[in-house]
Amino acid sequence: MSEEENIIVIRDVSKWFGKVQALRKVNLSIRRGSVVVIIGPSGSGKSTLLRCINHMEVEDEGEILIDGQQLPRSEKLINAIRADIGMVFQHFYLYPHLTVLENITLAQRIVRRRSKEEAERIAREQLNRVGIGEKADSFPAQLSGGQQQRVAIARALAMNPKIMLFDEPTSALDPEMIKEVLDVMLDLAKAGITMVVVTHEMGFARAAADEVVFMDEGQIIEQGEPAMVFDHPRHERTRFFLSQILHK
Amino acid sequence: MAYEDASLAQGNVVTVYRESLRLRLERFPWWFLVILLVTALTALIITTKSTYTEAFSFIRAGLSVTIMTTISAYFIALTLGMITGLGRISRNVVFKNLATFYVEVVRGIPMLVLIFFIALVLVPAVTSSLNTLGERLSAAGLGGLGAFFSSVTNKGVPMQLRAVIALSVTYGAFSAEIFRAGIQSIHKGQMEAARSQGMTYGQAMRYVILPQAIRNVLPALGNDFISMLKDSSLVSVLAVRDITQVAKLYAGQTFRYPEAYLTLAVLYLSMTMLLSLGVKVLEKRFQSS
């Protein structure tokens, strides 16, 4: 596989939090347009790995390449790259003082320097895409959790990202709202956006993932197509983890 | 809810009524009523008794100085406080230490001492070093700028301006802590979300964090304004003719102490009561939304 096909390359990345090593020489390459789902027990380093991809956390060792370009450690240079990488958080983190529309136009205007009209047009497009076009003038606090998370996805998409990162996007949602968010994510997967998703939703992983990565104790234990990892896990730890969550 | 209320009222009309009356009596702000009565009574005395009328019209002359000093010092303090508050949480070592130095120094010195020090030591020191700078500039051939700096004399800085500077510096440190607390009360996820979209630290601060933080600290900043109004009385030690100073002058000339100081106290009280009502309204408005 040539380097150019890989939009994300993670090489020998290690990360410490104080004395705790969160990542141990992780290597992972992600093809353009593919959907990668990272699973693993809590504290396995999967969120840390995800957050390294746009340098919300900076690796202590190793390197990360986005589109062949090494992620800079400089605060100033990272902003342009972050603008191209959408991120969706477990707790949405919408801007509560702004309307839904303003949430989606803010970064477009000040980072992408789009005009108000253009930013609003794009915002409405993305809101319709995630199925809540009618909520443009609401405030985040007036929306359900599922709707808020869909706004957060629209906010990320409005920046025309090359990559979308999802950090446990459904973990904070009430059960009846999980599906509406997963449906949006399935649509995105079909649309061919490169997606890296940390989740416990095995159904989503089976349906959408090109590759499933299982992590434990800061290392990638195994990776492969969903059917392989879920139905024929090669490692004892993967089997144990899967048996734990399937019994839940 | 409405249905429950209705059924409750049908069965126990009288008890509900009594309960609510008792509750209302308990909740009634009696203290405020007393303050209102005292204020009204003083107002009545001022309008009817000639010595009080005289005292009031004498003291009233200082009102504009008190109000102007308070307002201008307050807005300078807010600016200073905002910058210092940002400094306190900055990752820039120099900025952070400067801000912390300023806050700690101000907090460790009594306000009265600080007012003396700034007005009578710091301002003269600054003007004299400006003069020295002016002489050097003139000698270096920059006559225009040099003459300007040389022309700044110590006497050229009026006491009221020094009072405003002193109050601003003091309250700048207080409001810095309010701003810092306000910024730190915003969940760090807000900063993360903004930064993940490619905003710089400054942009995230300006468009995402500060609007929320300032909203949270508006009541505290309002209370600061009230404190500032009261503490502006300290500038009378610089012979600035605010209401405290003129009341003191009036009492000194006439030996009518009750006339001077009762009028003065009620004047402050009615201003602060009015303002704290305003702050309460502000608080309610921002709590509900």
CA distance B84 to B206: 15
State the CB neighbour count (10 A cutoff) for residue A118: 14
Which one, of B221, B252, B225, B259, lies nearest residue B236 by Cα? B252
Q: Are B62 and B243 in contact (CB under 8 A)?
A: yes
Interface test with A, best of B187, B197, B207, B212 (most A CBs within 10 A): B197
Strand-strand pairing, A61-66 and A211-216: unpaired
B207 touches chain A (CB under 8 A): yes
Scanning every residue of chain A, which has its alpha carbon at the shortest distance from the alpha carbon of B190?
A: A93
**Class of residue B277 by CB neighbours under 10 A (exposed 0-12, middle 13-18, buried 19+):** exposed
B248-288 pLDDT, tens digit each? 999 999 999 998 999 999 999 999 999 999 888 888 887 65
Scanning every residue of chain B, which has its alpha carbon at the shortest distance from the alpha carbon of A155?
A: B197
Scored b (16 or more CB within 10 A) or e, B238-253 reads bebbbbbbbbbbbbee
CB pairs under 8 A between A and B: 62
* pLDDT tier for residue A4 given thresholds of 50, 70 and 90: low
B203 touches chain A (CB under 8 A): yes
B189–A87 C-beta distance less than 8 A: no
Residue B121 DSSP label = I
pLDDT at A247 over 70: no
CATH class label, B34-288:
mainly alpha
B195 touches chain A (CB under 8 A): yes
- List the beta bridge partners of residue A15: A23
As given in the structure block, the two tokens for residue A14 are 């290690």
pLDDT at A23 over 60: yes
Nearest by CB to residue B198, choosing from A79, A95, A155, is: A79
A144-183 pLDDT, tens digit each? 999 999 999 999 999 999 999 999 999 999 999 999 999 9
Q: Distances from the Cα of B278 to the Cαs of A144, A198, B218, B284, in angstroms?
A: 34, 49, 11, 10
pLDDT at A231 over 70: yes
- State residue B1's pLDDT score: 39
Residues of A in contact with B215 (CB under 8 A): 97
Q: How do the domains of chain B map onto residue ranges?
A: 34-288
What's the distance, Cα to Cα, between the start and end of chain B in Å?
A: 22
How many angstroms from the chain centroid is the CA of residue A100? 21
A87–B196 C-beta distance less than 8 A: yes
As given in the structure block, the two tokens for residue B93 are 């070592």
Q: Which pTM was predicted? A: 0.85
Interface test with B, best of A87, A93, A148 (most B CBs within 10 A): A93
For every one of its 289 residues, what pLDDT tens digit does chain B have, with 9 covering 90 and above? Answer: 344 444 444 545 555 566 688 888 888 888 888 988 988 998 899 889 999 999 999 999 999 999 999 999 999 999 999 999 999 999 999 999 999 999 999 999 999 999 999 999 999 999 888 888 888 888 877 767 777 777 777 777 889 999 999 999 999 999 999 999 999 999 999 999 999 999 999 999 999 999 999 999 999 999 999 999 999 999 999 999 999 999 999 999 999 999 899 999 999 999 999 999 988 888 888 765 5
A53-110 pLDDT, tens digit each? 999 999 999 999 999 999 998 888 899 999 999 999 999 999 999 999 999 999 999 9
- Strand segments, DSSP code E, in A45-157 are 61-66, 69-70, 85-88
Q: Of chain B residues 125-154, which have a CB less than 8 A from chain A?
A: none
B196–A97 C-beta distance less than 8 A: no
B192–A79 C-beta distance less than 8 A: no
Average pLDDT over every residue of A193-204: 94
Scored b (16 or more CB within 10 A) or e, B2-17 reads eeeeeeeeeeeeeeee
Within 8 A by CB and 6+ apart from A60, the residues are A14, A15, A16
* pLDDT tier for residue A1 given thresholds of 50, 70 and 90: very low
A95–B193 C-beta distance less than 8 A: yes
A209-224 pLDDT, tens digit each? 999 999 999 999 999 9
Scanning every residue of chain A, which has its alpha carbon at the shortest distance from the alpha carbon of B197?
A: A83
Compute the nearest-CA separation of B199 from chain A (Å): 6
A104 touches chain B (CB under 8 A): no
Rounded to two decimals, the ipTM of the complex is 0.93
Compute the nearest-CA separation of A33 from chain B (Å): 20
Scanning every residue of chain B, which has its alpha carbon at the shortest distance from the alpha carbon of A82?
A: B198
Place of tokens 């450690």: A73
CA distance B160 to B69: 7
- State residue B136's pLDDT score: 82
CA distance B17 to B73: 50
Compute the nearest-CA separation of A52 from chain B (Å): 11
- State residue B284's pLDDT score: 83
Interface test with B, best of A66, A76, A79 (most B CBs within 10 A): A79
Average pLDDT over every residue of A124-131: 96
A151 touches chain B (CB under 8 A): no
As given in the structure block, the two tokens for residue B259 are 């006339």
**Class of residue A13 by CB neighbours under 10 A (exposed 0-12, middle 13-18, buried 19+):** buried
